[in-house]
Amino acid sequence: MRREPGRIGTFALAFGATRLAYAGLRQRPPGNSDGWERTNFAGRKVALQAGPAAAFGSAVAVLPGAPAAALAVAAGAVCGRYDDLRGDHRRGFRAHLTALREGEATSGAVKLLGIGAASLVAGALLKERPVDKLLAGVVIAGSTHLVNLVDVRPGRAGLTVLALGAPGLLRGSLAAAPMGAAAAVLGDDLAERAMLGDAGAHALGAAVGAAIAVGNGRAGLAAHAAGLVAAAVWGERATGSGV
């Protein structure tokens, strides 16, 4: 029987894998080098390699304990990276869904549909009963969105992941994966040398959501789902009002 790593082992695995991937991507960024730079809120040039590196570290660390969680992390990273490269000025679900109804598949619509579908599949694989499967999917998708929603200033997404993941350590080791990955790049994020971007924020959020789904029963899932839906509604209103 395969033995899964404990909390410290999972954290260390995520941290180490993220640092290795980050160093490799910084040394030899694949593709166009312009695709790995972004101007932050203060007008400074920052590197985007931290996001895919954190996604890789999270996926590697969750894989032994919950392969379905790795699926959600990968979907968050891929859809987020697409938005990092192809995103435009439109913000909020309503704007992207309106464009989709008019026949335009925006990067936001790709994220909404891709991450939503992957979250539901991951939730279905992580839980046994139909209601729990649905709630788990909502929690994973909601957490994915929440971490990206707060990623508006240096370090906020990483610190949010650490705060959301800490209670989950009482229920198992899975929450240590996104925490280790976030911690590995938090210093550069806070120093404005790097940023997670959508790829990293969505991947880390998916990993946190999967940890919540694994560690909670129906009542806990329902409470988390309600809170995350409320946060998404608030985020949509704040985006629409320019906040």
**Window from 37-46, 117-126, 142-151 with minimum mean pLDDT:** 37-46
| pLDDT, tens digit (0-9, with 9 covering 90-100), for 79-137 | 999 999 887 666 666 665 666 677 776 777 888 899 999 999 999 999 999 999 999 99
> Does residue 76 fall inside a structural domain?
yes
pTM, two decimal places: 0.91
Spatial CA neighbour of 145 closest among 204, 96, 58, 226:
204
Stretch 34-42: mean pLDDT: 87
Residue 13's pLDDT is 97
Residue 206 to residues 19, 32, 35, 72, 147, Cα–Cα distance (Å): 20, 27, 23, 6, 9
Residue 82's pLDDT is 92
Identify the three-state secondary structure at position 45.
strand
Residue 203 contacts residue 73 (beta carbons within 8 Å): yes
The phi, psi pair for 128, rounded to 5°, reads -105, -40
Residue 243's pLDDT is 47
Residue 183 contacts residue 113 (beta carbons within 8 Å): no
Stretch 42-58: mean pLDDT: 95
Residue 157 to residues 119, 147, 183, 190, 200, Cα–Cα distance (Å): 19, 6, 11, 10, 9
Residue 1's pLDDT is 41
More confident position, 56 or 239: 56
| Residue pointed to by tokens 């899964």 | 4
Spatial CA neighbour of 224 closest among 166, 156, 138:
138
> Does residue 202 fall inside a structural domain?
yes
Structural domain range at position 152: 7-240
Residue 135 contacts residue 123 (beta carbons within 8 Å): yes
> Does residue 127 fall inside a structural domain?
yes
Residue 3's pLDDT is 57
The phi, psi pair for 37, rounded to 5°, reads -125, 150
Identify the three-state secondary structure at position 127.
coil
| pLDDT, tens digit (0-9, with 9 covering 90-100), for 61-91 | 999 999 999 999 999 999 999 999 887 666 6
| Residue 188, CB-side half-sphere exposure with 13 Å CA sphere | 22
> Does residue 205 fall inside a structural domain?
yes
> Does residue 1 fall inside a structural domain?
no
The phi, psi pair for 150, rounded to 5°, reads -90, -5
Domain count for the chain:
1
What tokens does 23 get? 């160093």
Identify the three-state secondary structure at position 195.
coil
Rounded Cα–Cα distance for residues 146 and 140 (Å): 10
Spatial CA neighbour of 162 closest among 144, 176, 141, 150:
176
> Does residue 2 fall inside a structural domain?
no
Rounded Cα–Cα distance for residues 85 and 194 (Å): 16
